Amino acid sequence: MSDIIRLLPDSVANQIAAGEVIQRPASAIKELIENAVDSGATHIELIVKDAGKTLLQVIDNGCGMSPTDARMSFERHATSKIKEANDLFRIHTFGFRGEALASIAAIAQVELKSRRMDDELGTHLVIEGSMVKSQQPCACQAGTSIMVKNLFYNVPARRNFLKSDSAEMRHIIEEFQRVALVNPDIAFTFHNNGKLMFQLPAASLKQRIVNLMGSAYQEKLISLGQDSDVVQISGFVGKPESARKTKGEQYFFANNRYIRHPYFNHAVEEAFSELIPEGYYPAYFIYLKVDPSNIDINIHPTKTEVNFQDHQVIYSMLRSAVKQAIGKHSLSPTLDFEAETIFSTYFPKDKPVVEPGITVNPDYNPFVRKQQAELNLSAGLNQDPNLANWKDLYEISRRDKQGFGSEPRTMTIGADFDSEVPARGFMQFQNRYIVSRVKSGLMIIDQQNAHERVIYERLMERSNEKKGHSQQQLFPQTVNLSAADSELLSELRDDFSDLGFVIEPFGRNAYIIQGIPPDMVDENIQALIENVLESYKTNQIGLKIDKRNNLVRSMARNLAIKAGKVLLPEEMQSLLDDLFACSVPNVSPSGKTIIISITSEEIEKRFND
């Protein structure tokens, strides 16, 4: 019987190793930009085509490489950063294991041009699938230019697992931002399919954050800082009033390297716990500087997961630093002298300043329907005896004037029943559930899930028919987004249009909302768009649903009334009318139960036990 263990060929071993480092185009970009930073460059340019699947190119004006170094840089574990194992605990640079270029070259067609400042000629190197095709002298600028073409061309199975161009582009933007945020002294330029996405001059840290994340951050950030023998903490946190329902921009950096650390995330959120509502998250850009010997950054191929020797001490100091920064801001707000913009508002002396106002129609009721929807259940639902009976029971409860009483009165028995009892037999329990008397007992409806179902079916009908009516805005609203969310909104513009939105680009990462669906009133459009996009991204990760269905689900979730909202009897009546006109009234779009029933027998049994 022959031996069965054999050595893999280098080509196969290299492709397997490449999968640990290069999972997608964004992974390759991360490695290339970090190498450019380590080269001492003062300007780095990133060029991307087709979300990196066709071309990735990074150009820098750093130290460049000799012909020998250029060739050696593509060998596995060839590096200038470490000489012995102990050097792993004294790392101050980004790339150090010598795997990045070798991994990229194993699964792409790579072309490199590099020249040192003192050399007259540079070197031009072409590699395909780890095989050197040519290397010869060339005339080129000082620094390094590396082009990665047709990523995963020789590993089609892995290429097939890449997401859509827009999804991959969001990952690329995220990696670009992480490097740019820790190197404000380096100028960056980013082109995507010939379009300029970012042009970041060298600037202060706060101005770099503003240039990357949008001008709105100019007024949102609070600086923090705390030094000790264990850790030096610096950076910025968002003001409590700017917290959002989405996690958004939350960044930790250790020794100028982006890291993920849920334990430290908890420290920041704990500092904000009594200042922002539950379910809201602050933005923060926090930089930790520790002794390299007290941190292990070599526990994961992407180097984003790290171990700290004194993590409990850092947790306490981090929470204290954030609380202190928020306290100082609340007690003594200061002028920002780093802002690039100037005050240009002019008020004429001979004209009084008129305070802006808003007109509200107190008689408007969003739950009143223009026409009574037909109450019909789908054939599938009629097979369920409970659902089949609910329609009839609901109609009986509407006609039953006795209900909980023929006239509205206030319940005083028990604190939970704190709303007025309607004449039609409805009541609200804990400002979350609608309780109705039916022939067989009680019917309880979750108001948030019910409204989510109503909105979902209404929006899905509009989207399917592509007849989303729009109400033009008298004063169009401007929405400023992060680069990743801007890319996603650009992809979904046609789908938003089918729902009744009129959205037009307005500069980099900004959009003007010219029109909204007519039944959407008094909405904070900025917050709504941000929350819908965040829900959309979350659904992309956990659910296998198409783009349009995902958007409608996300919209319904964010437009639905929430638990805790007090409803008038007419509003409860209208909501249930709408609910029982839906094709699937018993389950929300996310699969949650909307209706439960408690029979008279169950109630009697509880009292007789």
Task: Provide mean pLDDT across the span 520-528.
Answer: 78
With a cut of 50, say whether residue 409 has pLDDT above it: no
Tokens matching residue 311: 């993590």
Q: For position 385, what pLDDT does the model report?
A: 45
Say how far apart CA 447 and CA 433 lie, in whole Å: 6
Q: Where are the alpha helices (DSSP H) in 400-523?
A: 447-465, 483-499
Say how far apart CA 166 and CA 388 lie, in whole Å: 44
pLDDT, greater one: 7 or 399 = 7
Task: Provide mean pLDDT across the span 388-405.
Answer: 48
pLDDT digits (tens, 9 = 90+) for 33-89: 999 999 999 999 999 999 999 999 999 999 999 999 899 888 866 555 544 555 444
Residue 138 near residue 126 (C-beta atoms within 8 A) = no
pLDDT digits (tens, 9 = 90+) for 136-169: 999 999 999 999 999 988 888 888 888 888 888 8
The set of residues, in sequence order, having a beta carbon less than 8 Å from that of 432 and lying 6+ positions away, is 446, 447, 448, 563, 564
Exposure letters 320-353 (e unless 16+ CB within 10 A, then b): ebbbebbeebeeeeeeeeeeeeeeeeeeeeeeee
Q: Please, what are the domains in the chain?
A: 10-202 (3.30.565.10), 207-331 (3.30.230.10), 368-609 (3.30.1370.100)
pLDDT digits (tens, 9 = 90+) for 348-383: 445 555 666 666 666 656 555 443 333 333 333 333
How much of the chain exceeds pLDDT 70, in percent? 75
pLDDT digits (tens, 9 = 90+) for 205-263: 999 999 888 877 888 899 999 898 889 999 999 998 888 877 778 999 998 889 888 88
Phi-psi category of residue 200: left, alpha or beta, with phi > 0 → left and psi -120 to 50 → alpha: beta
The set of residues, in sequence order, having a beta carbon less than 8 Å from that of 117 and lying 6+ positions away, is 63, 64, 142
**Phi first, then psi: what are they for 241, rounded to 5°?**
-70, -10
Q: What is the DSSP secondary-structure string of 123-182? A: EEEEEETTEEEEEEEE---SEEEEEEESTTTT-HHHHHT---HHHHHHHHHHHHHHHHHT
Query: 509 falls in which pLDDT band (50, 70, 90)?
Result: confident
**Alpha-carbon distances of 605 from 85, 599, 609, rounded to whole Å:** 73, 10, 6
Q: Where are the alpha helices (DSSP H) in 192-277?
A: 205-213, 262-271
CB atoms within 10 A of CB 103: 26
What is the arrangement of strands in the sheet containing 502-505, beginning at the earlier edge strand?
471-480, 510-516, 502-505
Name the 3-class secondary structure at 534. Answer: helix
Q: For position 162, what pLDDT does the model report?
A: 86
pLDDT, greater one: 286 or 608 = 286
Tokens matching residue 479: 């929405």
pLDDT digits (tens, 9 = 90+) for 172-186: 999 999 999 999 999
Q: For position 333, what pLDDT does the model report?
A: 46
Query: 15 falls in which pLDDT band (50, 70, 90)?
Result: low
Task: Provide mean pLDDT across the span 392-412.
Answer: 42
Q: For position 20, what pLDDT does the model report?
A: 60
Query: 329 falls in which pLDDT band (50, 70, 90)?
Result: confident
Residue 230 carries which side chain, given as an amino acid letter?
V
CB atoms within 10 A of CB 409: 11
For the ranges 78-87, 410-419, 596-605, which has the lowest average pLDDT?
410-419
Say how far apart CA 40 and CA 186 lie, in whole Å: 9
Residue 460 near residue 555 (C-beta atoms within 8 A) = no
How much of the chain exceeds pLDDT 90, in percent? 28
Cα 423 to chain centroid distance, Å, stands at 45
Name the 3-class secondary structure at 34. Answer: helix
**Alpha-carbon distances of 239 from 218, 246, 269, 272, 311, rounded to whole Å:** 11, 15, 13, 10, 25
Q: What average pLDDT is seen over the chain?
A: 79
pTM of the model: 0.70
